[in-house]
Amino acid sequence: MSPLKDKVEAFNQLITNDETVKAMELYYSDDVELQENETTPRAGKQVCIIREKAALAKFDLVVEITKQAIDDVNQVVFSEYLMVITNKEDKKVTHRQEISVQQWENGLVKKEKFYYNQAPLL
């Protein structure tokens, strides 16, 4: 296995076991940039973690990785996720298919962009 694949598998294990914040703490660079669709990117690991914690306070999330491609040469990871998002307040459930493109550098995620349909989280 390649060093990148090892790190990606460890990252995946955390994400799929409801440990997203821990994955971010361990595998995002301090100056990471995260972008959702065409919104303005968020910069900085702590900014991204604060936003994630706020989202997880409102929603329960179950994540399954359905497809993944790892480009060792360019240090890029493409992932397709199937997500089940449950609103904690009214228990409404939304299903979302999401694509993530990660750019890794020095063993950490330097940039990540998410692509998904903008259906509202009911």
Length of the chain: 122
Using CA atoms, how far apart are residues 75 and 72, in angstroms rounded to an integer? 5
pLDDT, position 119: 61
Residues 6+ apart with CB under 8 A from 61: 18, 20, 83, 84, 85, 86
Angle subtended at Cα 44 by Cα 10 and Cα 108, rounded to the nearest 5 degrees: 30
93 alpha carbon, distance to own chain's centre = 19
Residue 22 has pLDDT above 70, yes or no: yes
- Per-residue pLDDT, 83: 93
- CATH number belonging to domain 3-116: 3.10.450.50
Is pTM beyond 0.85? Reply is yes
pLDDT tens-digit map of 95-121: 899 999 999 999 999 999 999 986 655
Tens-place pLDDT, residues 42-89: 999 999 999 999 999 999 999 999 999 999 999 999 999 999 999 999
- 1/94: higher pLDDT: 94
What integer pLDDT is reported at residue 9 of this predicted model? 97
Beta strands (DSSP E) in the chain are: 28-36, 42-43, 59-71, 76-87, 93-105, 108-116
- Give the list of residues 6+ apart from residue 111 with CB closer than 8 angstroms, or none: 32, 33, 34, 35, 41, 102, 103
pLDDT band at 36 (very low <50, low <70, confident <90, very high): very high
Instruction: Give the pLDDT mean for 8-17.
Output: 97
Q: Which pLDDT value is given to residue 117?
A: 85
6: left (phi over 0), alpha (psi -120 to 50) or beta: alpha
